[in-house]
Amino acid sequence: MPRGPNPFAWRPRPPYISAMTDSAPKLNDFLPGGPMAAPAAGSRTELVGLTRAELVREMERLGEKRFRADQIFNWIYFRGVTDFAAMTDISKALRARLAETCSIGRPHVVTAQVSQDGTRKWLLRLADGNEVETVFIPEEERGTLCVSSQVGCTLTCSFCHTGTQAWVRNLTAGEIAGQVMMARDALGEWPTPSDDRQITNVVFMGMGEPLFNYDHVKAAVDLIKDEKGLNFSRRRVTLSTSGIVPEIRRAGAEMRVMLAISLHAVRDALRDELVPVNRRWPLAALLAACRDYPSLSNARRITFEYVMLKGVNDSDADARELLRLLEGIPSKINLIPFNPWPGSRYETSAPERVQRFGEIIRSAGIMATVRTPRGQDIAAACGQLKSESVRIPGWKRRGETKEDHARA
């Protein structure tokens, strides 16, 4: 498969795509020329990130029959081709036209690191120069790809390294699905039957709060779950949220994937500090949303992530309060020994403390697993992701000087 330097070159998207995006800043808000800058003459439409319906409209725009969209969808998302010339069931004339007017991109891989334990971390550069990280964690029974949904994060969870990086922008559906496609490139997984893949699960636990980028995450999840595309079962896709209560129910109804909650504290005063979004949606509201999560059952339990911080949230009383809070919610608890990062103010709980905490949970019949730290030597472990991207102020994007901006 052609790879080359493979820049995920930004291309203008058809107007119907702009219409579906949310009020959050859009990709081209951050390009030279400012928001909704006019597409450059001769530029091409990026097909990665288009849903089936959007691809049908794109084919119609090119004067082609609708079924062409299915063929192209299969080549892009099932076979993983990046060159129109490889689409052998499409006429040569159409292939040439597609090559002139469209592109099939990937994020540009800046660095690819492999940890001693086999964990892989990629630093990816997007078309506008911003960077995000994607991590692959191989285990005996499964392989989990951890994708990012934003550049930076609007939230400032005090134990999380990403939280020290200011939010820059939301990722597009293509940039999110593109992380899965890049990983399949790197692991040589095109096209592979689902029972023979290294990447078996996709989790939205990388950089960013996915429910603050709802529309693009939903579009990406649709591509990831599509049986004729990337083809992950919805039980193998997990959305992890810090607790954006109004979007939790909506995600359950519309995306129907597994849910994980970054809980980390059992009392509002402490959770306000660890996960500041708790001030907006406190524990009672969050747990009510969890109880209402559509199709919640023993087979589809909610995972509660709980980072173990020495002397902060790891007492026996905390464990017992956790059990009380989760009563009636089919749950499993993921205890995460804190992964230190430069400048962090917390220490990780002693292994015996983590073990004791887990025993209290398990003695009540609730599954509690202790997450083995992975990829620590390449800073790929949970809560350690961070890129160097910084938000470019509006005046700079518009090509103004700071002084012009101050005068305006």
The window from 54-62, 116-124, 150-158, 327-335 that contacts ligand SF4 (CB under 6 A) reads 150-158
Where would I find the beta strands (DSSP E) of 126-185? 131-138, 143-146, 150-151, 169-170
Question: Does residue 208 bind ligand SF4 (CB under 6 A)?
Answer: yes
Q: Which residue, 69 or 251, is less far from ligand SF4 as judged by CB?
A: 251
Query: From the candidates 58, 131, 133, 305, which is the catalytic residue?
Result: 133
Contact present, 120 and 145 (Cβ < 8 Å): no
Site string for ligand SF4, 231-260 (x = CB under 6 A): -----------x------------------
Query: 302-308 and 258-262: which strand pairing?
Result: parallel
Residue nearest to ligand SF4 (CB): 163
Question: Does residue 262 bind ligand SF4 (CB under 6 A)?
Answer: yes
The window from 136-144, 184-192, 195-203, 205-213 that contacts ligand SF4 (CB under 6 A) reads 205-213
202 sits in which H/E element:
strand 201-204
Task: Give the residue, chosen from 153, 223, 224, 230, that forms a contact with ligand SF4 under the rule CB under 6 A.
Answer: 153
Q: Which amino acid would we find at residue 331?
A: S
Q: Which residue, 104 or 157, is less far from ligand SF4 as judged by CB?
A: 157
Q: Which residue, 157 or 379, is less far from ligand SF4 as judged by CB?
A: 157
Structure tokens at 60: 């119609």
Active site residue 133: yes
Task: Give the residue, chosen from 47, 55, 160, 333, that forms a contact with ligand SF4 under the rule CB under 6 A.
Answer: 160
Of 16-45, binders to ligand SF4 (CB under 6 A) are none
Q: How far is the CB of 343 from ligand SF4 (least distance, A)?
A: 14
Question: Does residue 47 bind ligand SF4 (CB under 6 A)?
Answer: no
In 74-213, alpha helices (H):
92-101, 173-187
Q: 406: helix, coil or strand?
A: helix
Question: Does residue 209 bind ligand SF4 (CB under 6 A)?
Answer: yes
| Residues in contact with 69: Cβ distance below 8 Å, sequence separation at least 6, in sequence order | 52, 55, 56, 58, 59
Q: How far is the CB of 143 from ligand SF4 (least distance, A)?
A: 22
Query: 169-170 and 150-151: which strand pairing?
Result: antiparallel
Question: Does residue 170 bind ligand SF4 (CB under 6 A)?
Answer: no
DSSP state for residue 74 in the 8-state scheme: I
Task: Give the residue, chosen from 162, 170, 278, 339, that forms a contact with ligand SF4 under the rule CB under 6 A.
Answer: 162
Q: Which residue, 13 or 386, is less far from ligand SF4 as judged by CB?
A: 386
Of 70-129, binders to ligand SF4 (CB under 6 A) are none
The Cα-based distances of 260 to 174, 287, 301, 350 in angstroms read: 23, 12, 9, 24
Active site residue 254: no
Residue 109 sits at φ, ψ, to 5 deg, of -80, 115
Q: What is the CA radius of gyration of the chain?
A: 22
C-alpha torsion sign, points 397, 398, 403, 407: negative
Q: How far is the CB of 133 from ligand SF4 (least distance, A)?
A: 11
Number of DSSP helices (H) and strands (E) in the chain, helices first: 13, 14
Contact present, 260 and 241 (Cβ < 8 Å): yes
Of 282-301, binders to ligand SF4 (CB under 6 A) are none
The window from 139-147, 148-156, 180-188, 195-203 that contacts ligand SF4 (CB under 6 A) reads 148-156
Number of amino acids touching ligand SF4 (CB under 6 A): 12
Task: Give the residue, chosen from 17, 132, 157, 245, that forms a contact with ligand SF4 under the rule CB under 6 A.
Answer: 157
Q: What is the DSSP string of 9-70?
A: ---PPPHHHHHHS-SSPPGGGGSTT-TTPPPPTT--EE-TT--HHHHHHHHHHTT--THHHH
Active site residues: 133, 382
Positions touching ligand SF4 (CB under 6 A) are 153, 155-157, 160, 162-163, 207-209, 242, 262
